[in-house]
Each structure stands twice: as structure tokens, then as C-alpha cells.
């Protein structure tokens, strides 16, 4: 395999189909009698639907029917790759809801003979709303009198310890507020550091700071970054001989079959999922998109194929975004640039639904990339009435890197240590350990790491020494700066993607 | 011909047409069949069976006044190689050639393309031999693009640009196709592929 591909010219099997327009993405399929559905989106960041009157919409010729939240199958338990059963999280994201928790959240779906009729009909639906308190800024929500994003609170509580023979209980939503005294630092431009539900430490952090030649304490905020896949997450579905045929856009067909089976309470063998090409995912389409069950349910209800074309505006709302992270890092450096200790504190903007993994990953990735001999990490992910947050290329690590790299650059200037050199002296090597020890006292480790070699080769190819001399100098209307950063990526999960064909003669 | 179309499809008449056609007009929009499939045509219906010249063929198509060229290509003519990324003239994924000039087909009314020569990604390769267009071959040679949802638009924009400047510098071509977005941010590789296409075009 390696001899055939690596170092050789070849044409990937999808390329000619793509460049001739023959490649079919989800919205490119057509079925006879296909209806079109449109979504009614919440105009409020948090509200309760008190009454729906769809009579005027349903009276329009060509309108075939609607689907509301109460017609959805109940959230089902999750069985992990390891066979562990996780009890359904009833507070997680749904395809449709009668308590929208972000502006633009789908509330109901309507199908008609064409999209224009569906759009017209959506405007004729009358909804009586009860607006509810909302929070779009995690720090506002943490204030003593701050609003909560959810009726039950503003953070996900820690998971309860598993009980033998029972499904693992989902985390509960709890309330966390900091004191006015905690917030005193906010007005000085520093991230307040109240109590957090999660914390870990390894090494002697205090000693690390005592022996440091330079200690920097900086606050940064990373932005929410929308995925904006160029292909919106459109889906088309129909039923045939008891099986669901669903055309959708996903990064992993096998994980999405599992999701669709769970969302619709179907056996996986009764799902034919077609996703031959995907127009970008960046993490937001890894396990499918829950709204893709809407055309499946409407199709069953109306006995006709249903196309749900997601337009760009709807994609803005439902497509997801990498969560913004508010971070404060105190970093100690020796004279040669070697880090002596890191104290990292993060407040993550969680969005309204499932806890995102970015919060915890931020600390582990900083620990991996800079190998501090001592580190403390504290973090909280605060629920917000903002569009759902989803993993995006290097989830958590990207924010951690964005938070620490300006501090590394500043230390480089203050200590007079070159930026490549300061990354090199702190870089992981070999089976580098990172993060906190587990209950058995073992720390996770990389199987190998060649960051030092990568920095050397990168500096050479970039002509680092030559180009950094040009940094900060005005050339015409521009001043260019030069900098160095390292990154890592967490990958690997159980599963498979692809197709094995075993021929009648037994050959693959 | 062009003036005639412009006169008959003024903005005012366009809006009047939609109002007059009411739900009948809408009930066949985006479908690639005539309105009669969904019931008998009603009085006041605006039905316009017109001919569009697409990829060298005359295609008869039932157009509503509000139909965009992108929707007609995708939903009435089965040419789904033209992609809808934003449907509002931002991303360029729907770029097609109209009389050799690249246009965002999401923002062109299909009626305005009557009597003109429309070329989509499906019409680039030689229909008889299947031989790829030089710009398509450039993509294959350089493995340009990742998810490729933007690819048809980039290829059509490049084909159109090369008709005005067959021997561009990399910077000129970058500017020439700057109306197209790639969310995978694969611009460098795309430009390499398009430059290879330009080179192959010159033979």
C-alpha cells in the first residue's frame, strides 16, 4: 500500500467525479414526489412555546403537514463503543423544541410541495411565546445576580459515580455563582477566578513560581468561531420497505448511522445512510446533525420523500461554533526560557446544550506542548443561550494554544530568548507525559513526539533568522510581525469508516 | 432580444407577476416538472415554457418569474454540479458562464439568461470523448481542493477569467477568481491547480 501511494502520483477515486460535477452531495439527490420542508426558527434566545396555531398555514394549497417537538421520539440511552450504557440526557439537544434555548433554534418543521409554498406557510403560523431569562456571556451568568441560560441553572454538574449494573446517569444542570469580591478583578481587565467544578494539579506549582526568573499573568479571550461549512447540513429522507433511506452530510457515516438509529429508535440495519461526498465538516458533522431526523419523521408522517434544504441563515444558527474561551494563565520562566510552572484558569462558553470537551482539553494540550514540570488547571464551562458549540479542528487545544502563545512571545522578548529557542526548550520529546495523574497515579503520554526536529526544519525552511530580522519594520503601508507556535491534535476513537466487499469466491 | 427581455421583466412586473400567480406560481417553483403535476393549472397562473441554451443544448423548461438560474439548473434541469453555498452572491459556489462571463447563478433570474449561452461544470468536458477541460485536468494533476463543494465555482470562474487573460501571473489569477470562497482555506493549492489549468489551456 505505502509503495503504491506514498511518494507516487495518483488520482484519488473521488476527484474526477468532483471536478465534472457528477459527485452528489446530500442536496443533489432527487426522488419522485419529493416534498420540501422549512423550519420555523425561534426569534428568542430563550422562550417557551405556549400555543401553536398552524391552521392558516395548513389551509394553504400545497402544504402537506407540520412536525412539532411533541412528535419526536424521546431521547434514548447511548451505548458506547466499549458497551457501556449511558442513560439518556433529557436536557440535551433535540431536533425540535418547545423551549428554545438559543435564537434560531428550530421549533417546528413544515412540508409542502415546494420550498416557496413552505416558506409562505411558515410565515402564517402563529405562536404564542413566553420569553424567558437568558445569558449570552458566561461571565455575566457567573455574577451573583446573573441570569441562567437554562431553567435549572448555568453549568453541568459533575457526573455521578457509576453504579454496577445500572446505566451511567447523565450529568445534571446546576447553578454556579461567584461572589462580588470574586469579580473585583474584572474591572482591572483580569479574568476573575471564583470557584470551579473542575481542577487538577501535578508537581509543586508554588515552588515553580518561587524559583522563576520571570512570572507573567495574562488574561485573553478567544472568539466563538462558526464552522460555516460551505455545504449546509441539508438532508433528504424517505422510507422504503420498512427501511429509512437518508441522504445527509457527515464526516463519519458509521457514527452517524449510530446517531440516527438512537435519535429515531431504529435498528441500525433498518437505516440506509447515503453520504458519498461532504462539503466540509471541520468537526461539526462528525456524528451527524440531529436536525437530519426531521425529514425522516416528516416523510414517515406524510408518506412522501422530504428534502430539507438548509439555507445559509439557518446554517448560521444550527451549524455550530468552536466555543469561546476566557482564559487567564500565570506562567513562570527560568532565565533560559524553560517554563517552571503554569497556573491556568479557563471559563468556557458552552452554548445551551451538552457539555463540550474543549474546557478540559485546553489544559491537557498546554501541558503536552509546553511540558511544565508543575501545573495547576481550573475550569468551568458555563451554559449560554448561544448557538450550540461543537468541536472544531483541535477542540480545546486550539483555545489553549491561543491563550498561552502570546505569553510565550512576551517572555521571549523580556528574557531575550529567541522564539524558536523558547519553544524548543519547552517542547515535548519522546514519550512525553502530560496532564494530571489518573486515580492509579499514571499520567497520559504521547507515543512519540518530534516537535524539536519539526521546529529545526521549520525554522530552516521558513528562513526564520533572516525573516525575523525584518519583523516590526515598516515596509510601505505594512508592518509585519513574525512568530512561532506549536500545535497538536487529539485523534483516535473506536469505529470504522469504509466498505469491505467480500466477493462470492471469498476474495476481498 | 436582450432589451425585449429586460422590458418585459422589469422589477415592477416581476413583483406583479408573483402577486398575480399566487400560490400556483409557488407550487411548481423548484420542481423540475410542470405545474400540472400538482393539479390542474388555475386561471391567472403564469406559465412560461421557455428555452434555455445550456451546455450546448436547447433545454425546454417551465420558468416562474422568480426562479433563479441556480435553482433552475439544479432543480429543473438536473444539473446539480452547480452548488448553492450561500444563495446570496457571497461565496461563488454557484458560478456559471453566461456568454463566457462568470456569473453567480444564485443571483441571476433564469429569465435573464434566455437567448444566451450558459455553461456549467457538466458542460466543460468534451461530450464525445469525455476528455476533461484543461482547467479540470489541472485540478486532477495537482489534486486541488479538499471537500470540493466550492470546486465547480472556482473552475468556472477560472475558465471565464482565462478567456480574458490566457497567460496570467499567479497574482493576477488570484485576483481574477477572488470572488470565490473556499472554507477549507485551500487557496494556495487551488491556485496551483488553476495555474496548471492555465498552462494546459495554452497547449
pLDDT at B37: 39
CA-based nearest residue to A366, from A354, A380, A356, A378: A378
**End-to-end Cα, chain B, rounded Å:** 36
Closest Cα of chain A to B132: distance in Å? 8
* pLDDT tens column, A96-153: 999 999 999 999 999 999 999 999 999 999 999 999 999 999 999 999 999 999 999 9
* Chain A residue at shortest CA distance from B138: A19
Set of cell numbers at residue B64: 416562474
pLDDT at B26: 38
pLDDT higher than 80, residue B27: no
pLDDT at A504: 79
Whether the CB-CB separation of A94 and A388 falls below 8 Å is answered with: no
Nearest to B93 among A14, A60, A230 (CB): A230
Q: Please indicate whether, in this complex, the C-beta atoms of A19 and B66 are within 8 angstroms of each other.
A: no
* SS3 at position A423: helix
* pLDDT tens column, B159-186: 999 999 999 999 999 999 999 999 999 9
CA-based nearest residue to A275, from A229, A322, A227, A321: A229
pLDDT at B7: 46
- Is the dihedral angle over the CA atoms B76, B78, B80, B82 positive or is it negative? negative
Average pLDDT over residues B30-58: 62
Set of cell numbers at residue A416: 531575550
* Strand-pair partners of A256: none
Nearest to B27 among A18, A114, A231 (CB): A114
Q: Which value does ipTM take for this structure? A: 0.91
Average pLDDT over residues B40-59: 76
Whether the CB-CB separation of A215 and A331 falls below 8 Å is answered with: yes
Indicate the pLDDT class of residue B203, thresholds 50, 70 and 90.
confident
- What is the residue-level pLDDT of chain A in tens, covering all 508 positions? 557 777 888 888 899 999 999 999 999 999 999 999 999 999 999 999 999 999 999 999 999 999 999 999 999 988 877 788 889 999 999 999 999 999 999 999 999 999 999 999 999 999 999 999 999 999 999 999 999 999 999 999 988 888 888 889 999 999 999 999 999 999 899 999 999 999 999 999 999 999 999 999 999 999 999 999 999 999 999 999 999 999 999 999 988 999 999 999 999 999 999 999 999 999 999 889 999 999 999 999 999 999 999 999 999 999 999 999 999 999 999 999 999 999 999 999 999 999 999 999 999 999 999 999 999 999 999 999 999 999 998 899 999 999 999 999 999 999 999 999 999 999 999 999 999 999 999 999 998 999 999 999 999 999 999 999 988 889 899 999 999 999 988 876 555 556 667 787 888 7
pLDDT at A495: 54
Q: How many CB pairs under 8 A join A and B?
A: 121
Nearest to A21 among B85, B150, B152 (CB): B152
* pLDDT tens column, A99-111: 999 999 999 999 9
Whether the CB-CB separation of A357 and A323 falls below 8 Å is answered with: no
Whether the CB-CB separation of A263 and A235 falls below 8 Å is answered with: no
Q: Please indicate whether, in this complex, the C-beta atoms of B87 and A312 are within 8 angstroms of each other.
A: yes
Cα–Cα distances (Å) from A401 to A11, A209, A398, A424, B76, in that order, read 36, 21, 5, 15, 49
* Chain B residue at shortest CA distance from A311: B86
pLDDT at B29: 38
Nearest to A15 among B78, B80, B143 (CB): B143
Whether the CB-CB separation of A113 and A35 falls below 8 Å is answered with: yes
Cell 505569553 belongs to which residue?
A407
pLDDT higher than 80, residue B30: no
Set of cell numbers at residue A349: 462558553
Q: Which domains does chain A have, with CATH numbers?
A: 24-132+235-308 (3.90.1170.50), 191-211+324-479 (3.30.365.10)
Query: Which residues in chain B have Cβ-Cβ distances shorter than 8 Å to A12?
Result: 143
Closest Cα of chain A to B192: distance in Å? 15
Q: Please indicate whether, in this complex, the C-beta atoms of B184 and A280 are within 8 angstroms of each other.
A: yes
* Chain A residue at shortest CA distance from B186: A280
* Strand-pair partners of A351: A383
Q: Please indicate whether, in this complex, the C-beta atoms of B183 and A280 are within 8 angstroms of each other.
A: yes
Q: Which domains does chain B have, with CATH numbers?
A: 134-201 (1.10.150.120)
Nearest to B29 among A11, A20, A114 (CB): A114
pLDDT at A82: 77
Using CB atoms and an 8 Å cut-off, which of residues 120-149 of chain B contact chain A? 120-122, 124-125, 132, 136, 139-140, 143, 145-149
Query: Which residues in chain B have Cβ-Cβ distances shorter than 8 Å to A114?
Result: 26-31
**End-to-end Cα, chain A, rounded Å:** 15
Is residue B32 exposed (0-12), middle (13-18) or buried (19+ Cβ within 10 Å)?
A: middle
Instruction: Enter the pTM of the model.
Output: 0.88
Instruction: Name A207's Cβ contacts closer than 8 Å, sequence gap at least 6.
Output: A341, A374
Give the strand pairing for A78-79 and A85-86: antiparallel
Task: Give the residue from A21, A120, A226 with the most B CB atoms within 10 Å of its CB, the best one to mutate.
Answer: A21
Using CB atoms and an 8 Å cut-off, which of residues 42-71 of chain B contact chain A? 66
pLDDT at A494: 52
* pLDDT tens column, B100-122: 999 999 999 999 999 999 999 99
Question: In residues, how long is chain A?
Answer: 508
Amino acid at each position: 500500500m505505502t509503495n503504491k501511494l506514498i511518494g507516487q502520483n495518483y488520482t484519488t477515486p473521488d476527484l474526477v467525479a468532483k471536478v465534472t460535477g457528477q459527485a452528489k452531495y446530500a442536496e443533489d439527490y432527487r426522488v419522485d414526489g419529493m416534498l420540501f420542508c422549512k423550519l420555523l426558527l425561534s426569534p428568542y434566545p430563550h422562550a417557551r412555546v405556549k400555543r401553536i396555531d398552524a391552521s392558516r398555514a395548513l389551509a394553504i394549497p400545497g402544504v402537506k403537514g407540520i412536525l412539532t417537538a411533541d412528535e419526536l421520539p424521546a431521547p434514548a440511552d447511548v451505548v458506547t463503543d466499549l458497551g457501556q450504557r449511558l442513560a439518556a440526557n433529557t436536557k440535551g439537544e433535540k431536533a425540535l423544541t418547545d423551549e428554545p434555548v438559543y435564537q434560531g433554534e428550530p421549533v417546528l418543521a413544515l412540508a409542502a410541495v415546494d420550498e416557496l409554498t413552505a416558506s409562505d406557510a411558515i410565515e402564517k403560523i402563529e405562536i404564542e411565546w413566553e420569553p424567558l431569562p437568558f445569558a449570552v456571556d458566561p461571565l455575566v451568568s457567573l455574577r451573583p445576580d446573573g441570569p441562567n441560560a437554562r431553567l435549572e441553572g448555568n453549568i453541568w454538574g459533575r457526573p455521578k459515580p457509576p453504579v454496577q449494573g445500572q446505566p451511567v446517569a447523565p450529568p445534571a444542570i446546576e447553578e454556579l455563582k461567584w461572589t462580588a469580591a470574586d469579580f473585583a478583578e474584572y474591572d482591572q481587565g483580569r479574568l476573575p477566578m471564583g470557584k470551579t467544578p473542575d481542577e487538577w494539579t501535578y508537581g509543586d506549582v508554588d515552588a515553580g513560581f518561587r524559583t522563576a526568573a520571570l512570572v507573567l499573568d495574562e488574561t485573553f479571550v478567544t472568539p466563538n468561531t462558526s464552522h460555516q461549512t460551505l455545504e449546509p447540513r441539508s438532508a433528504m429522507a424517505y422510507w422504503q420497505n420498512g427501511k429509512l433511506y437518508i441522504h445527509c452530510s457527515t464526516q463519519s457515516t458509521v457514527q452517524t448511522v449510530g446517531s440516527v438509529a438512537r435519535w429515531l429508535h431504529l435498528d441500525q440495519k433498518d437505516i440506509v445512510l447515503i453520504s458519498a461526498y461532504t462539503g466540509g465538516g471541520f468537526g461539526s458533522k462528525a456524528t451527524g446533525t440531529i436536525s437530519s431526523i426531521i425529514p425522516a419523521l416528516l416523510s414517515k408522517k406524510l408518506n412522501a420523500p422530504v428534502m430539507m434544504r438548509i439555507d445559509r441563515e439557518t446554517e448560521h444558527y444550527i451549524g455550530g461554533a468552536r466555543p469561546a474561551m476566557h482564559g487567564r494563565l500565570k506562567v513562570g520562566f527560568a532565565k533560559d526560557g524553560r517554563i517552571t510552572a503554569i497556573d491556568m484558569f479557563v471559563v468556557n462558553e458552552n452554548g445551551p446544550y451538552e457539555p463540550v470537551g474543549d474546557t478540559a482539553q485546553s489544559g491537557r494540550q498546554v501541558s503536552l506542548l509546553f511540558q511544565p514540570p508543575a501545573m495547576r488547571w481550573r475550569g468551568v464551562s458555563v451554559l449560554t443561550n448561544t448557538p450550540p458549540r461543537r468541536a472544531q479542528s483541535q477542540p480545546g487545544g486550539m483555545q489553549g494554544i491561543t491563550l498561552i502563545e502570546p505569553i510565550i512571545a512576551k517572555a521571549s522578548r523580556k528574557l531575550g530568548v529567541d522564539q524558536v529557542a523558547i519553544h524548543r526548550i519547552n517542547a515535548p520529546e519522546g514519550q512525553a507525559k502530560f496532564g494530571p495523574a489518573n486515580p492509579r497515579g499514571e499520567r497520559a503520554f504521547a507515543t512519540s513526539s518530534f516537535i524539536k526536529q519539526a521546529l529545526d526544519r521549520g525554522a530552516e525552511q521558513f528562513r526564520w533568522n533572516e525573516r525575523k530580522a525584518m519583523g516590526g519594520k515598516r515596509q510601505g503601508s505594512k508592518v509585519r510581525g513574525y512568530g512561532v507556535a506549536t500545535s497538536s491534535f487529539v485523534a483516535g476513537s473506536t469505529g470504522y469508516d469504509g466498505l469491505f466487499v467480500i466477493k462470492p469466491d471469498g476474495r476481498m | 432580444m436582450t432589451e425585449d427581455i429586460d422590458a418585459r421583466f422589469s422589477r415592477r412586473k416581476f413583483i406583479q407577476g408573483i402577486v398575480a400567480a399566487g400560490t400556483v406560481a409557488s407550487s411548481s417553483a423548484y420542481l423540475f416538472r410542470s405545474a400540472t403535476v400538482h393539479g390542474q393549472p388555475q386561471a391567472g397562473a403564469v406559465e412560461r415554457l421557455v428555452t434555455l441554451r445550456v451546455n450546448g443544448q436547447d433545454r425546454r423548461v417551465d420558468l416562474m418569474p422568480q426562479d433563479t438560474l441556480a435553482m433552475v439548473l439544479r432543480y429543473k434541469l438536473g444539473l446539480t454540479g452547480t452548488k448553492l453555498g450561500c444563495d446570496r452572491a457571497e461565496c461563488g459556489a454557484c458560478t456559471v458562464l453566461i456568454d463566457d462571463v462568470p456569473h453567480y447563478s444564485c443571483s441571476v433570474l433564469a429569465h435573464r439568461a434566455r437567448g444566451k449561452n450558459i455553461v456549467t461544470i457538466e458542460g466543460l468536458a468534451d461530450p464525445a470523448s469525455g476528455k476533461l477541460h484543461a482547467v479540470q485536468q489541472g485540478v486532477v494533476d495537482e489534486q486541488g481542493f479538499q471537500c470540493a463543494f466550492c470546486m465547480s465555482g472556482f473552475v468556472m470562474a477560472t475558465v471565464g477569467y482565462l478567456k480574458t487573460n490566457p497567460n496570467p501571473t499567479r497574482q493576477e489569477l488570484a485576483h481574477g477568481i477572488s470572488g470565490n470562497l473556499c472554507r477549507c482555506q485551500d487557496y494556495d493549492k487551488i491556485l496551483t491547480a488553476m495555474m496548471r489549468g492555465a498552462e494546459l489551456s495554452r497547449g
